[in-house]
Structure 1
């Protein structure tokens, strides 16, 4: 069994965060901009648009849409749009996905060579509410489940798409990373239902799950055996970790999701101890030493959302030429100044601490059924995973894949893989892929949790294939 003191610390953290959130309700932080729900902005040339949608009374989602300069007008292959959903839960797509991974500019405000804007228009959303520039006027309005987050996102899509024929002509592909994958599959189902009911005018092109937290049981069960195989953990650590992983399995079977969230924290701490602080996002490194790194000393005291976000905060500190400012300073400085519409008393990440505690009861809930439902609806589903990711390991992804009830699964599993290379360099294998009907899997070599950062070239090629993006002649 795990150390009870660690178990207690996890509960104390959640309780303390909850008490802080109660105190925040009393603070006069509410936005001074009364019409924030309708606020919108954009560049003079129309290449960028952004704004707020009040998805529920006093609950506001912030979005940012980039139109690609590489657009190709091809009636047989309409130009796609990618909606990017970040992980955490509580990671900012507008901040991390945009500037940290795949948007047109990096944290230096320099052009990104492998921006996904080359293959599609890009829509970033700070979701769920209270993430990034999104906010709530009452802390009780934060979401508590994946389904609630998906409902808010569906409301946002209705606001953006139903009155915009240009957007309606562009198929939407929902791409996600980490916990964002749970949001993506629940949003996919919600969007399909709204489309079928005539409530949402949108063409859903597909859903792509990058290193996604679809089945927490399968991922946590994979951690210690994987680390043992690569000589990172001892037999003692393996046995103790497997004991907690089995405890998690039983808790999930009994529907004790908050207890499973606590056990998740216990298991992370134990594996950190017995691996001498392995990086959960790239097991080839110590925590704090990977190219996308977090603060080693503080990392083990943080919850999953904070650990995830701190990777990008450190990346911003390392890469930014803006006086070595953090991502938070960057977003609340030049980016906020550019956007102009952020309410006076709303800061990027100011409410982020509310999200994970509110979702503690859903954090460990699996979403395999939603993947099955999407496949049954003939929605294209792509799974892509970094080879050296630990927290959402490829072993874990393959394990939950085998649990699908999709009637074409046996045929998919019988398919061999195709090696992939970066164009112009057909020597080094960058990835493998396999596909059948409306399901595809990509094994991205030498990438950890953050595939677009660690293997940008092959990631961009993969995006072009998934979205069927038309190419210039």
Structure 2
């Protein structure tokens, strides 16, 4: 299909559904799948546990090739939060084919791969639980549900089984990604899951909360958003958090983390945690994760999503209204009593005891198993700062770490521009990208670099001259 026709179809299919319902049964659970007549999209629910329903949405790239010598990649996108919707935010705000005005996105990652968005964990976005106690309480419980979903989606589709799957995560999604990676490997080895794991990419990911909270004060002092008094307060609370983590008091550490964000907010005149060049609320995509952590803050989060506008770069239409209006009508299978994001307040609270736990060991295990792991980070991010990311990377026990750290970086350029857009270096199965001029949401702030980067990570057959070394 010609590119222009594909875009027109995607736009129109939001307004006029061209799909049909296919009930499917597998392993005792029920999966509902819907697909467009031309096969360019499919979506559905998987009952990952009794009364726990996870929603997924798959886009087949119009650039997809079937060359067995150059396998076409599939990207599974995992959003953070916890409680933020990949089907909504990742899809319409960041990398999907359409923006929140349902206009074509030139920088969609479909140019490099097929895309699979999942509202993870259950209770997020369109995913829902019939009983509140069924939301997950740990990253590993979330990984088990995601593995069940992958079994449902991949085991019945031979075309997908031929494509390497790349798990790409943002923010708290990084913790989901590494636990899912290990869970998926076990399922593959046991013969329960039919897919090829191509690699894992961790974008501005919350892998080591301790390293991040210790990075906030020094980083913001260096860029003049904190003075010495603010730095002292920040470091004091970071030490308190470290003590709580060392004592295994993870819920208390989450409470102290929330307090630390408050101290930094007041001491910096409300710096945006996702871009230190901005004040909080100026970036329409960003939301401070602590806004999910308390009842008042959760309501602020939902109101914030509802207020997204295109008046600021990276914005768009009213995401909440879009997902509960046009998109819900298009999808057809969302139950009438399910509101997109309606159970988000359950998700963070349930994960409160896991929120501050590190997942460095899981990254180490993936590397030891030979899985390709990529880390990419936006220069302007605070909450998952590059400074904090470098700190946890240096804690890896991976036997290639010393060689990796001793290497020089390679500069990144984009298109015909001679301006440096970032740096990268790779050693064996570990890769790191430093993305200049980007905050927490790298695909939004630097779409050109992000698109070329993801092409390199996934070894997409469709390459470009965006990045030159």
TM-score where L is the length of structure 1: 0.88
Match of 2:462 among 464, 468, 471: 471
Preserved contact between residue 372 and residue 404 of structure 1 (Cα < 8 Å): yes
- The whole-number CA distance in structure 2 between the counterparts of 1:334 and 1:308 is 21
Match of 1:179 among 158, 168, 172: 172
Preserved contact between residue 94 and residue 132 of structure 1 (Cα < 8 Å): yes
- The whole-number CA distance in structure 1 between the counterparts of 2:242 and 2:175 is 19
* 1:38 aligned counterpart, secondary structure: strand
- 2:227 aligned with 1:234: yes
- The aligned runs of 1:60-459 (5 Å cut-off) are 60-290=53-283, 292=285, 312-316=305-309, 318=311, 326-425=318-417, 427-459=418-450
* 1:245 aligned counterpart, secondary structure: helix
- The whole-number CA distance in structure 2 between the counterparts of 1:300 and 1:180 is 16
Higher strand proportion (structure 1 or 2): 2
- The aligned runs of 1:34-49 (5 Å cut-off) are 37-49=30-42
Superposed CA deviations along residues 12-41 of structure 1, whole A, max 9, x for unmatched, are: xxxxxxxxxxxxxxxxxxxxx9x9943221
**1:462 alignment counterpart:** 453
Preserved contact between residue 293 and residue 315 of structure 1 (Cα < 8 Å): no
Preserved contact between residue 214 and residue 367 of structure 1 (Cα < 8 Å): yes
Superposed CA deviations along residues 301-346 of structure 1, whole A, max 9, x for unmatched, are: 77887777776544357579x9x86211110100000000111211
> Deviation at 1:455?
0.3
Moved over 6 A (4+): 298-311
> Deviation at 1:471?
2.1
- Say if 1:87 and 1:316 are closer, same or farther in 2 by CA, change over 3 A: farther
- Say if 1:148 and 1:305 are closer, same or farther in 2 by CA, change over 3 A: farther
Could you tell which deviates more after superposition, 346-355 or 392-401?
346-355
> Deviation at 1:469?
0.3
- The whole-number CA distance in structure 1 between the counterparts of 2:237 and 2:296 is 18
* 2:419 aligned counterpart, secondary structure: coil
- The whole-number CA distance in structure 1 between the counterparts of 2:179 and 2:298 is 19
> Deviation at 1:45?
1.1
> Deviation at 1:294?
5.5
Preserved contact between residue 150 and residue 183 of structure 1 (Cα < 8 Å): yes
- The whole-number CA distance in structure 1 between the counterparts of 2:193 and 2:295 is 39
- The whole-number CA distance in structure 1 between the counterparts of 2:303 and 2:406 is 40
Superposed CA deviations along residues 262-290 of structure 1, whole A, max 9, x for unmatched, are: 00000000000100100000001111123
TM-score where L is the length of structure 2: 0.89
* 1:83 aligned counterpart, secondary structure: strand
Preserved contact between residue 88 and residue 308 of structure 1 (Cα < 8 Å): no
Paired residue total? 435
- Say if 1:342 and 1:301 are closer, same or farther in 2 by CA, change over 3 A: closer
Q: What residue ranges of structure 1 are gaps of 5+ in the alignment?
A: 1-32
- The whole-number CA distance in structure 1 between the counterparts of 2:130 and 2:120 is 15
> Deviation at 1:300?
10
